[in-house]
A = this chain, B = another copy of it.
Amino acid sequence: MEVEAKFIYKEGVEEKLREIAEPVIEKFEHDTYFNHPCKDFEKTDEAVRIRRDVEGVAITYKGPKVDLETKSREEVKVKVDSFEDALDLLRKLGFRPVMEVRKFRKIYRLKGAIVCIDEVEGVGKFVEIEIESGSIRDKETIFDVAKLLGYSREESITRSYLEMILQKK
C-alpha cells in the first residue's frame, strides 16, 4: 500500500524543507501510462505505467484509491532491465500507451515520511507526502508532516497527475 497525500505548492515550502528535512535526491521522472486491453482503467481507477529515471526502469501497477482524504492505493512495482523491452512486452500483451507524465522531483525525508516537490510538465507544482509500504492508519503521520509544512488536511488533493493531465485534454 502506498499511503500518500498531495497538495498544491505554496511559497516557502522548499525553504522550510531545506531547514527541517533531510534531502534524498533530485531527478527527472518520465512515466508512460497504458490502458488495459479489456477494461477501462480510467473507469476502474487503476493505472499501469513504465517509469524511467536516473535510478532505472520499473513497471508499476496502481490499484483504485481506497480513501477519500488521500490518494492512497495499492501499488505493485517491478524493476526491469530495459525500457524498450518493457514497452514491447506491454504492447504485445495488448496494452496501449495513452499518456506521458514528465516531472522534476526533489525528494526529502521528514519524520518517517517521504516529501516530494514535483514540477509536473503542463500541470504545475505540487507537494506529495507519502509513506511507502504503509497502511491507511499512517495517514495521520502524513497529515502531521503536512501541518509542519503549513497544510491542513482539507487541502489534500486526491487526483493523480495522470488524471489532471487527462482532465486538461
**B-binding residues in A (CB < 8 A):** 36-39, 46, 48, 59, 61, 63, 74, 76-82, 85-86, 88-89, 92-94
Complex CA gap A77/B38 in Å reads: 23
Among candidates B61, B74, B77, B81, residue contacting A78 with C-beta atoms closer than 8 Å: B81
Enumerate chain B residues within 8 angstroms of A61, measured Cβ to Cβ. Answer: 89, 92-93
Complex formed: what's the CA distance from A37 to B79 in Å?
23
Complex CA gap A46/B93 in Å reads 10
* Closest residue on chain B to residue A95 by CB atoms: B93
CB<8 Å pairs between A and B, sample of 25? A36-B37, A36-B93, A36-B94, A37-B37, A37-B38, A37-B39, A38-B38, A38-B94, A39-B94, A48-B93, A59-B89, A61-B89, A61-B92, A61-B93, A76-B88, A76-B89, A76-B92, A77-B85, A78-B80, A78-B81, A78-B89, A79-B81, A79-B82, A80-B81, A93-B93
Distance of A118 from chain B, by nearest CB (Å) = 24
